[in-house]
Amino acid sequence: MVNLPGSKKCFLFSLVIIFSVFSPWPWPWFGAQLQRVLASSYKMADETAKAQTAKPGGDTIFGKIIRKEIPSEFVYEDDQCVVINDINAVAPVHMLVIPKKAINAVSTSDDSDEQLLGHLLVVAKKVAAEKNLNKDGYRLIINDGRHGGQSVYHLHVHVMGGRQMNWPPG
């Protein structure tokens, strides 16, 4: 996707609204698709901005969710990890597989974390299958560091599906 400055996005968004209201088919469909794309690009821009200021260390929102200090509905839980729906979803299905062990990022993991890291991918596969993502596919993402777009320094795997994913991703 082309990364447009905010003013150009607003202009395009306004045109889509006008054409959606005053023009016959296919503008309403096209308008809905463009609105979805623009909305997800705003969400991604917010996460990129958060990643620029996020720092490793300290307690994270994921630690509080794992300890049940912050209420959250678990899609899956075992002795090594939990899975929750992402509250900032950018796909129809967007879940996070979070290890109970606090690991800042893949780049800071130890060799002793090998089994746990593999387990996270197996769980991602299981929950993707439960959400019927196997037929058309899904994307797994692990952000690492500022340039990788990591906004929370507690390792987690994004499981995203339910629509065609774009390439390159960022």
The residues that are catalytic are 156
- For residue 145, give the DSSP letter: T
Q: Kindly calculate the radius of gyration of the chain based on its CA atoms and give it in whole angstroms.
A: 18
As a whole number of angstroms, the distance between CA 150 and CA 92 comes to: 21
Q: If you count them, how many residues does the chain have? A: 170
Instruction: For tokens 């299958």, name the residue.
Output: 129
As a whole number of angstroms, the distance between CA 19 and CA 28 comes to: 8
